[in-house]
């Protein structure tokens, strides 16, 4: 086998008395794709930060090019060929593709920018990635998947030898994920080593050669991906037997809670019709940008509908703001937890009571009553936090999401719209969420789930609507709910080969 | 370990209940140190008369600073408060001199001052919320407008009150404490309650921290921001009453000059983040006191008045640096 690009020798990291990572030994070879798995807080991101020089190791060292590094700073790490593609892209939206690709490493000729060369090189790199992205296109006009492509191109231009992908697929739809995987394989074929961090076991299984599983800061498994099936991966991550992933579906459905009739929104949505019953979990599937979120936001009064009718408990009602929606016991969990869901600088209590504050006011806000209610949710949803007065920005993704759910539950909603309810949270917490959501449904609440994860839609929902280009194109029940059917409708194709073509077209 | 955690938790929660967020500790310590240093540096400092004067001076800008705290927590800024003092003061004295019955005149005057202040605040707020102009630019413009109108109305001349009772407001005492100081302290208590114990206060923090989250949470973002500017305007009205009655007149060219900077400085020294979302009234009160005492000390010690700006500027820089370091 070839010489490793990096060797990690007994790498460890502690923050004060807190050991977050210990004794990591790993050889990373050129052209290898290593999957790194672990629940939130298992130490994945700490490991990445040690490799990319953001953190300094407390013990151990990194070996690169025959040299030992006890300490590494981001600049050195980058110079040594380690590149990270972050979850949140670091692109300047006002600049063009080639300008972003060469940001910070502009090609100059006699002190002035050499645009022609940069454009040309960008075109070449895009060609290697088999992408037709125009170097002149402004970043703000790109889709999420295209932005990711720009990040990858940037790494290639930089002559990276190790590329770290931190949960790159959370923001992508299934066809886009396929395109990304092709790109990663092409990267790997050029001899680049790839570290792939994901919550999604299937992706790791499909893409990676070897897998490293972390739990509580330690390596619990390191082997060829072929030697493990998804279930044993999950078991090793969590460290306990997982009860059935999805809770039993229940046929019990009550009367209609929400009815949407001929809903239209400018050119985004047209003629959307559906009914949601009490006790039902209704799935809304479709590609990113198909109009799923817009349906939710229009119902919530965040967008003003062009035409159509919304009925709650059979009564037509006008909802012009989220405030109106809340008053009708309708609550919405946005897909963007940090940007639209929680106030990151507020503590748990303040976030949980933000919608329901009125209830805690008898003349003045009763802080003690607020705290008691927050304690209740802390118990009921098993929110892990040092204190209820901790800023939610400091919590892990899964715990933030629980706080977000508590915030909605505190208005005692009858209808819940959950947009990507398990985005960016680990397997164990995901399962908790599935049980919670099912539990809420069996209490008689009506639940609309929007999700890009087909597995989740299929496993969780009683009925699935597929959205494409702002219309509902399919209404699937029971055994009709299959991955293939949903994809066929979502991509607007009639045969499986069409689906893959549609997938490629997205790049 | 567990017990320790609950103890610190309990401590921080009881501290929270007082509204004394831990961020307020730094300015509080600075104030105490400054008090000790000042009493050692000058024998006149602890003189009742000197202290009373300092407090009175502080209260004019302090009242405004409390109003500005709301605007800043909501993610805005108000540069127009200094000019607004002059314009409100002019309107107040016109109203005062127009009514013959002295008691009636004072009542009308107070209402005119608070009302016009609030109205100018609404104007600022509408520019920001409906006109979608950045608060900095909008209030920069109104700063110029308010001063100009005040100068035009009076032809740049001083307006003097003819009301015999009027000077008692700003110059009077109750229980040995000047009335402006009472106004300042009572306002601080009311503002603290508004910020920590009402829906408006909580919503204002949410809007300042992340307006998008606030909108998705069903908070009326524009109304809340409008409210913060209105409060700032009303506080300017109160300050204008105290200031003009103390002087028994108002000079449209001198009144309130650079008050906006003193007010913002007090807010920043008090630990309220300029980025919005969080803040404390007591911090602002302490910030205003720190600025006032520094001014007083420089006077007592005979430091050139030209150097006072340098000292004030340095204090602001230190305060911001300390905050910035803590956030890291």
Q: Are A366 and A337 in contact (CB under 8 A)?
A: no
How far apart are the CA of A226 and the nearest CA of chain B, in angstroms? 43
pLDDT over 60 (residue B47): yes
A357 CB neighbours in chain B (<8 A) are: 199, 202-203
Looking at the fold, whether A405 and A451 belong to one and the same domain comes out as no
Where among A360, A387, A411 does a domain terminate?
Answer: A411
- Residue B231 lies inside a defined structural domain of this protein: yes
Looking at the fold, whether A388 and A481 belong to one and the same domain comes out as no
- Residue A121 lies inside a defined structural domain of this protein: yes
**Strands (E) located in A184-288:** 193-197, 210-215, 218-224, 256-265, 269-277, 281-286
- Residue B7 lies inside a defined structural domain of this protein: no
Tell me, yes or no, if A406 comes closer than 8 A to chain B by beta carbon.
Answer: no
Dihedral of CA A357/A363/A365/A368: which sign? negative
Tell me, yes or no, if B47 comes closer than 8 A to chain A by beta carbon.
Answer: no
How far apart are the CA of A387 and the nearest CA of chain B, in angstroms? 7
Model pLDDT, residue B327: 58
- Residue B294 lies inside a defined structural domain of this protein: yes
Looking at the fold, whether A354 and A208 belong to one and the same domain comes out as no
For residue A170, what is the domain's CATH number?
Answer: 3.40.50.300
**Closest A-chain CA to B273:** A345
Model pLDDT, residue B21: 54
- The domain total for chain B is 1
3-state secondary structure of A158: coil
CA dist A7 → A10, B79, B134 (Å): 10, 57, 52
- Residue B149 lies inside a defined structural domain of this protein: yes
Model pLDDT, residue B151: 96
- Residue A85 lies inside a defined structural domain of this protein: yes
Across A236-245, B217-226, B313-322, the highest mean pLDDT is recorded for B217-226
Looking at the fold, whether A31 and A158 belong to one and the same domain comes out as yes
Tell me, yes or no, if B196 comes closer than 8 A to chain A by beta carbon.
Answer: yes
Cβ contact (<8 Å) for A343 and B212? no
CA dist B3 → A385, A395, B10, B64, B162 (Å): 15, 21, 10, 44, 67
What is the rounded distance in angstroms from the CA atom of residue A21 to the CA atom of residue A214? 9
- The domain total for chain A is 3
Model pLDDT, residue B9: 52
Tell me, yes or no, if A400 comes closer than 8 A to chain B by beta carbon.
Answer: no
CA atoms within 13 A on the CB side of B320: 13
Q: What is the pLDDT of residues B83-93, one digit of tens each?
A: 999 999 999 99
- Residue B6 lies inside a defined structural domain of this protein: no
Tell me, yes or no, if A458 comes closer than 8 A to chain B by beta carbon.
Answer: no
Looking at the fold, whether A110 and A13 belong to one and the same domain comes out as yes
Model pLDDT, residue B10: 54
* Arithmetic mean of pLDDT over chain B: 90
Tell me, yes or no, if A107 comes closer than 8 A to chain B by beta carbon.
Answer: no
Model pLDDT, residue B146: 97
Q: Tokens at residue A366, please?
A: 């009763």
Best CA proximity match to A388, nearest among B195, B218, B273, B5: B5
B16 CB neighbours in chain A (<8 A) are: 367, 389
Q: Tokens at residue A136, please?
A: 């002149």
Tell me, yes or no, if A116 comes closer than 8 A to chain B by beta carbon.
Answer: no
- Residue B9 lies inside a defined structural domain of this protein: no
Chain position carrying tokens 């900077």: B261
Cβ contact (<8 Å) for A389 and B217? no
- Residue A334 lies inside a defined structural domain of this protein: no
Looking at the fold, whether A466 and A440 belong to one and the same domain comes out as yes
Looking at the fold, whether A32 and A130 belong to one and the same domain comes out as yes
Where among A411, A432, A450 does a domain terminate?
Answer: A411
Looking at the fold, whether A399 and A480 belong to one and the same domain comes out as no
- Residue B36 lies inside a defined structural domain of this protein: no
Looking at the fold, whether A292 and A374 belong to one and the same domain comes out as no
pLDDT over 60 (residue B15): no
Domain that holds residue B88: 24-29+44-327
- Residue A250 lies inside a defined structural domain of this protein: no
Burial track B224-254 (b if 16+ CB lie within 10 A, e otherwise)? bbbbbbbbbbbbbbbbbbbbbbbbbbbbbee
Looking at the fold, whether A398 and A439 belong to one and the same domain comes out as no
How far apart are the CA of B210 and the nearest CA of chain A, in angstroms? 6
Cβ contact (<8 Å) for A387 and B202? no
Looking at the fold, whether A102 and A152 belong to one and the same domain comes out as yes
What is the rounded distance in angstroms from the CA atom of residue A374 to the CA atom of residue A386? 13
For residue B244, what is the domain's CATH number?
Answer: 1.10.3470
Cβ contact (<8 Å) for B199 and A365? yes
CA atoms within 13 A on the CB side of B296: 28
Best CA proximity match to B225, nearest among B122, B144, B142: B122
How far apart are the CA of B219 and the nearest CA of chain A, in angstroms? 7
Domain that holds residue A110: 6-238
Q: What is the pLDDT of residues B113-139, one digit of tens each?
A: 999 999 999 999 999 999 999 999 999
A369 CB neighbours in chain B (<8 A) are: none
Q: Are A29 and A225 in contact (CB under 8 A)?
A: no
HEC letters along A55-91: CCCCEEEEEECCEEECCCCHHHHHHCCEEEECCCCCC
Where among A238, A267, A300 does a domain terminate?
Answer: A238
Model pLDDT, residue A158: 79
Q: Tokens at residue A354, please?
A: 């933000």
Q: What's the rounded mean pLDDT across residues B245-264?
A: 93
Q: Write out residues in chain A with pLDDT < 70, as ranges.
A: 1, 16-17, 40-41, 88, 240-244, 251, 493-507
Model pLDDT, residue A205: 87
CA atoms within 13 A on the CB side of A500: 3
The residues pairing with A19 across neighbouring beta strands, listed in sequence order, are A14
Mutate to test the interface with B, among A343, A371, A374, A407 (most CBs of B within 10 A): A343
Looking at the fold, whether A440 and A398 belong to one and the same domain comes out as no
């Amino acid at each position: 086998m070839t010489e490793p690009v990096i060797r990690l020798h007994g790498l460890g990291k502690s923050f004060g008395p807190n050991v977050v990572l210990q004794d990591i030994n790993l050889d990373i070879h050129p052209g290898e794709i290593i999957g790194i798995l672990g629940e939130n807080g298992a130490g994945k991101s700490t490991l990445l930060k040690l490799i990319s020089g953001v953190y300094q190791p407390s013990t151990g060292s990194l070996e690169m090019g025959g040299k030992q590094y006890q300490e590494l700073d981001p600049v050195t790490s980058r110079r040594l060929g380690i590149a990270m593609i972050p979850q949140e892209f670091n692109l300047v939206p006002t600049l063009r593709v080639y300008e972003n690709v060469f940001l910070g490493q502009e090609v100059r000729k006699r002190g002035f920018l050499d645009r022609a060369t940069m454009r040309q090189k960008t075109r070449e790199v895009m060609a290697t990635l088999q992408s037709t992205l125009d170097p002149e296109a402004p970043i703000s006009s790109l889709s999420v998947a295209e932005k990711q492509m720009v990040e990858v191109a940037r790494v290639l231009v930089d002559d990276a030898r190790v590329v770290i992908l931190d949960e790159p697929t959370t923001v992508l739809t299934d066809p886009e994920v396929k395109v990304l995987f092709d790109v990663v394989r092409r990267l790997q074929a050029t001899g680049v080593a790839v570290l792939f961090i994901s919550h999604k076991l299937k992706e790791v299984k499909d893409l990676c050669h070897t897998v490293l599983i972390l739990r509580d800061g330690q390596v619990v498994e390191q082997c060829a991906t072929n030697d493990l099936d998804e279930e044993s991966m999950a078991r090793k991550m969590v460290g306990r037997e997982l009860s059935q992933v999805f809770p039993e579906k229940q046929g019990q459905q009550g009367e209609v809670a929400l009815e949407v009739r001929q809903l239209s929104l400018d050119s985004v949505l047209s003629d959307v019709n559906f009914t949601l019953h009490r006790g039902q979990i209704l799935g809304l599937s479709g590609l990113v940008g198909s109009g799923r979120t817009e349906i939710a936001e229009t119902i919530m009064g965040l967008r003003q509908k062009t035409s159509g009718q919304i009925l709650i408990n059979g009564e037509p009602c006008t909802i012009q703001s989220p405030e109106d929606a809340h008053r009708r016991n309708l609550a919405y969990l946005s897909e963007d937890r940090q940007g639209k869901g929680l106030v990151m600088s507020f503590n748990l209590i303040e976030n949980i009571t933000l919608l329901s504050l009125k209830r805690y006011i008898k003349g003045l806000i009763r802080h003690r009553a607020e705290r008691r209610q927050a304690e209740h949710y802390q118990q009921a949803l098993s929110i892990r936090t040092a204190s209820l007065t901790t800023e939610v920005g400091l919590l892990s993704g899964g715990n933030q999401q629980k706080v977000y759910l508590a915030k909605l539950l505190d208005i005692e909603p009858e209808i819940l719209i959950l947009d990507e309810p398990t985005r960016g949270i680990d397997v164990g917490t995901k399962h908790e969420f599935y049980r919670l959501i099912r539990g809420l449904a069996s209490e008689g609440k009506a639940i609309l789930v929007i999700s890009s994860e087909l597995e989740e839609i299929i496993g969780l929902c009683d009925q699935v609507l597929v959205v494409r280009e702002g219309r509902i194109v399919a209404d699937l029940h029971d055994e009709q709910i299959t991955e293939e059917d949903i994809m066929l409708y979502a991509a607007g194709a009639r045969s499986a080969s069409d689906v893959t073509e549609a997938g490629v077209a997205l790049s | 370990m567990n017990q320790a955690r609950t103890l610190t938790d309990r401590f921080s929660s009881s501290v929270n209940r007082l509204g004394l967020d831990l961020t307020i500790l730094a300015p509080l310590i600075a104030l105490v140190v400054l008090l000790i240093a000042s009493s050692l540096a000058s024998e006149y400092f602890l003189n009742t008369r000197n202290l009373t004067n300092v407090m009175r001076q502080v209260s004019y800008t302090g009242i405004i600073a409390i109003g500005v705290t709301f605007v800043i927590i909501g993610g805005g800024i108000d540069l127009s408060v200094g000019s607004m003092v002059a314009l409100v003061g002019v309107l107040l004295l016109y109203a005062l001199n127009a009514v013959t019955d002295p008691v009636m005149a004072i009542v009308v005057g107070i209402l005119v001052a608070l009302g016009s202040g609030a109205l100018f605040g609404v104007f600022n707020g509408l520019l920001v919320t409906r006109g979608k102009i950045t608060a900095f630019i909008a209030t920069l413009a109104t700063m110029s407008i308010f001063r100009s109108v005040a100068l035009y109305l009076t032809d740049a001349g001083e307006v003097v009150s003819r009301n015999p009772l009027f000077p008692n407001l700003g110059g009077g005492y109750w229980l040995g404490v000047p009335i402006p100081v009472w106004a300042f302290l009572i306002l601080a208590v009311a503002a603290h309650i508004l910020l920590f114990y009402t829906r408006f206060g909580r919503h204002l923090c949410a809007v300042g921290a992340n307006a998008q989250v606030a909108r998705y949470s069903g908070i009326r973002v524009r109304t809340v921001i409008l409210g913060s500017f209105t409060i700032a305007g009303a506080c300017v009205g109160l300050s204008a009453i105290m200031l003009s009655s103390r002087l028994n007149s108002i000079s449209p060219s001198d009144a309130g000059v650079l008050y906006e900077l003193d007010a913002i400085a007090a807010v920043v020294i008090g630990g309220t983040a300029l980025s919005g979302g969080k803040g404390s009234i007591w911090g602002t009160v302490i910030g205003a006191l720190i600025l006032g005492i520094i001014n007083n000390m420089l006077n007592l010690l005979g430091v050139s008045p030209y150097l006072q700006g340098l000292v004030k500027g340095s204090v602001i820089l230190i305060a911001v640096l300390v905050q910035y370091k803590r956030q890291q």
